[in-house]
Amino acid sequence: MRIYGEPVSRLIEEFSRLPGIGGKSAQRLAFYIINLPEERAEALAGAILSAKRNVKYCGVCSSLTDSDPCVICANVKRDAKIIMVVEDPRDMAAYERTREYYGLYHVLHGAISPMHGIGPNDLTIAALLKRLQSAQTDEVIIATNPNVEGEATALYIAKILKPTGIKVTRIAHGVPVGGDLEFVDEVTLSRALEGRREI
């Protein structure tokens, strides 16, 4: 698309590399940027750099944060004796929106998936075990996604936590099987939390 000049072509190319953005959308976004006031374009570019540079993983729960430990791990009002294991920070955000969970989290950053070459060592399971050794934990709630990978991960974690004697529960199958936690409504998420069972 040389006819627009190099800066526009480059922006279109950069946008089209983002997930879920095709060629037409990339073009539309690029033209939108060009017509923005300069300070708005600078705000967007700055937000990209700032997020990339200042976001790190929480040393306790492995969630994304700009402070270490993250605001949830640092919150003394939360029940540190309960840890909910989730695949992704977005799943944590989804449970936070229910306003019914006051324990801590542990973010795995994925699920065991032999199909995609993801094994237990690619997740933060070792960090979870280490965390459980030093912390006084009553219960580990496994809230991985209700799909094949999530279930496999839940069973795997339940198995390796068995010797510790810590109560391990799984959120109830009130969540639709085959779905993605991130898109489940708050009421369903709350029901699933209430109906959790020991595994």
Please give the Cα distance from 108 to 86 (Å, whole number). Answer: 6
Task: Give whichever of 15 and 156 is closer to its own copies, judged by the CB atom.
Answer: 15
Site string for its own copies, 160-199 (x = CB under 8 A): ----------------------xx----------------
Q: Which of 60, 62, 70, 125 touches its own copies by CB under 8 A?
A: 70
Determine if 6 is a binding residue for its own copies (CB under 8 A): yes
Tell me the one-letter amino acid at 33.
I
The distance in angstroms from the start CA to the end CA of the chain is 57
DSSP string, 129-183: HHHHHHS--SEEEE---SSHHHHHHHHHHHHHHGGGT-EEEE--TTSPTT--GGG
Which H helix or E strand runs over 104? strand 103-107
Q: Which of residues 93-122 bind its own copies (CB under 8 A)?
A: 93, 96
Q: Which of residues 19-48 bind its own copies (CB under 8 A)?
A: 19-20, 24-25, 27-34, 36, 38, 40-48
Stretch that binds its own copies, among 63-71, 77-85, 111-119, 137-145 (CB under 8 A): 63-71
> Cβ of residue 16: shortest distance to its own copies, in angstroms?
11
Distance of CA 104 to the CA centre of its chain: 14
